[in-house]
């Protein structure tokens, strides 16, 4: 398997790490949407609650699988100097350290959420739920990691996917915030403000950030990997 991948050139890992990253974004988004549908206790006779619950679980595990593939292929790809430690310990790498580090933070958070969910029966309900709330922090961090390191950020399909996923997650947060409003007024206001501030930040940051010029250099790509300035500045590759 390894020799087959190596034989067909280093770019196969690069294709894999991009596609698994995009799949992970999509699956994490679906997992969050299902989680909110689950916690809102939505059900119909044809679509009972345990179905939503099992789907939420299985989609989350599938997302984890894609995250692991995404990480392994990014390490195996020889173009970007990414070590295994860089993908777990944030901000220590040499390739776009801040933006790769956000990916490591998101992965660590998601790992904690998944492990505590698998061991749910062995821990207290309150502890499990407190850790499960980290999901809401992990998703925007993972999205920023995608915008900061992604080679496809300027392509329409990934931009549309990212915008669509953001809309779904913001919608999920709004659904949860507005249900039962105004109990826990402070917490719900914070969630509302957070979702709004994040959306506004994306709108202001993207045009001059990853969608602007020279992002590969500004995001911390090692200069040896950058194309010469009179050539393309689109993605560092």
What is the nearest approach in angstroms of other proteins to the Cβ of residue 32? 17
Find out whether the peptide bond into 182 is cis, omega within 30 degrees of 0.
yes
Cα–Cα distance measured from residue 233 to residue 223, given in angstroms and rounded to the nearest whole number: 12
Exactly one of 121, 156, 223, 224 binds other proteins (CB under 8 A); that residue is 121
What does the buried/exposed string (b/e) look like for 184-196 if buried means 16 or more CB atoms within 10 Å of the residue's CB? eeeebeebeeebe
Q: Which one of the spans 9-17, 45-53, 137-145, 224-232 is the region binding other proteins (CB under 8 A)?
A: 45-53
Using CB under 8 A as the binding criterion, the count of chain residues that bind other proteins stands at: 8
List for the chain the helix, strand, coil content (%; round to 5): 70, 0, 30
In this structure, the number of other CB atoms found within 10 A of the CB of residue 31 comes to: 24
Nearer to other proteins, 41 or 186 (CB): 41
Binding mask 143-182 for other proteins (x = CB under 8 A): ----------------------------------------
Q: Which one of the spans 48-56, 109-117, 143-151, 188-196 is the region binding other proteins (CB under 8 A)?
A: 48-56
Q: Are 113 and 127 in contact (CB under 8 A)?
A: no
Interaction between residue 53 and other proteins (CB under 8 A): yes
What is the nearest approach in angstroms of other proteins to the Cβ of residue 68? 24
Exactly one of 46, 50, 157, 183 binds other proteins (CB under 8 A); that residue is 50
Q: Which one of the spans 7-15, 118-126, 136-144, 221-229 is the region binding other proteins (CB under 8 A)?
A: 118-126
Bridge-partner residues for 44, per DSSP? 47
Interaction between residue 46 and other proteins (CB under 8 A): no
SS3 27: helix
- Helix H, strand E, coil C: the string for 87-118 is HCCCCCCCCCHHHHHHHHHHHHHHHHHHHHHH
- Contact set with other proteins (CB under 8 A): 41, 48-50, 53, 121-122, 125
């Amino acid at each position: 398997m390894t020799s087959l991948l190596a034989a067909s050139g280093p770019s196969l890992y690069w294709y894999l790490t991009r596609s698994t990253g995009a799949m992970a974004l999509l699956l994490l988004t679906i997992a969050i949407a299902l989680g909110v549908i689950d916690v809102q206790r939505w059900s119909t006779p044809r679509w009972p609650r345990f179905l939503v619950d099992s789907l939420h679980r299985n989609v989350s595990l599938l997302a984890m699988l894609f995250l692991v593939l995404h990480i392994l292929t990014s390490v195996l790809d020889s173009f970007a100097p990414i070590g295994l430690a860089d993908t777990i310990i944030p901000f220590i790498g040499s390739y776009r350290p801040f933006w790769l580090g956000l990916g490591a933070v998101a992965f660590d958070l998601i790992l904690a959420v998944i492990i505590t969910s698998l061991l749910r029966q062995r821990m207290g309900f309150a502890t499990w739920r407190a850790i499960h709330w980290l999901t809401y922090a992990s998703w925007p961090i993972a999205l920023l990691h995608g915008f900061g390191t992604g080679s496809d950020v300027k392509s329409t399909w990934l931009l549309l996917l990212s915008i669509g996923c953001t809309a779904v997650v913001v919608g999920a947060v709004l659904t949860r915030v507005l249900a039962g409003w105004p109990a826990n007024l402070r917490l719900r206001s914070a969630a509302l403000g957070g979702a709004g501030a994040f959306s506004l930040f994306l709108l202001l940051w993207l045009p001059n950030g990853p969608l602007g010029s020279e992002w590969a250099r500004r995001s911390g790509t090692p200069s040896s990997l950058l194309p010469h300035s009179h050539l393309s500045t689109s993605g560092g590759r």
